[in-house]
Amino acid sequence: MGGGPSVPKNATWHRHAYEVIRQETLFTEGETYALMRRFSSFLDKNHCTLEDSVRADKLRELPEIKNHPLRDRILYTYSMPISGDAKASVIKNPTVQTLIKACENLTVRTITCHEFIRMLGAFHRRATFDMKASAAFRLYDFTADDFITVVDIRTLFAMMVGQNVMTYELDSVAQQMLKEADVDGNNELNQEEFKRILKRMPDFMAKFSFSIEFPSY
Ligand SMILES: [Ca+2]
Ligand SMILES: [Ca+2]
């Protein structure tokens, strides 16, 4: 490849971190190093481990996502409740409003360096269709029940266009999308049914990508 970021000589660098990252993303060793240095700057440090974490709202200004309509949802998906009790964040009888509100409440969540790199890895231009499709499924599954249902699609649309512009037309588009892709007719989409929708979207790969900053150190 050449030209990409590299690990400087004499760098404090734990190669085992890269061994983990390269099994999950297509980042090179130099890119992994650059991303870990970027993450350590949020901690006001020069170095960090994959386990180090920051409060999720601190990443709202990340250049890659700060103008993304799903910014808070992306950060929510890759973060954990600070209390460590994931069950406490399960929303009972979810509505579009409660699901969006949960995503906006990032001050009670924490994101590790590992998840930060996974997050950018999914949106990396080199990520494969399957990598992006799995990430998209997780991102759009607002209710976290491993199925995409009409409330997930409604929430997605409302987040993209703003809740107050959410119209009956968009709602019927949501219903229609679900109906068309729901092969077994159980009113919810599993990963396979969902991937079929994405395959029909010619711009999915491009839309689910952004360029990532790799400063040199
Ligand atoms: Ca769901
Ligand atoms: Ca189905």
Domain borders along the chain are 128-199
Which of the ligands is closest to the CA of residue 142? 1
Which of the ligands is closest to the CA of residue 191? 2
The model carries a pTM of: 0.92
The Å distance, Cα 177 to ligand 2 centre, comes to 12
Cβ proximity of 49 and 20 under 8 Å: no
- What dotted CATH number matches 128-199? 1.10.238.10
The Å distance, Cα 198 to ligand 2 centre, comes to 15
pLDDT of residue 194: 96
* pLDDT tens sequence across 109-164: 999 999 999 999 999 999 999 999 999 999 999 999 999 999 999 999 999 887 77
* pLDDT tens sequence across 171-191: 888 899 899 999 999 999 999
User: 189 pairs with which residues across the strands?
Assistant: 148
- Tell me the C-alpha distance between 142 and 146, whole Å: 9
Cβ proximity of 182 and 188 under 8 Å: yes
* pLDDT tens sequence across 46-69: 899 999 999 999 999 999 999 999
> Given strand 109-112, what is the order of strands in its sheet?
53-55, 109-112, 80-81
Q: How many CA atoms lie within 13 A of 10 on its CB side?
A: 1
pLDDT of residue 2: 56
* pLDDT tens sequence across 90-121: 778 899 999 999 999 999 999 999 999 999 99
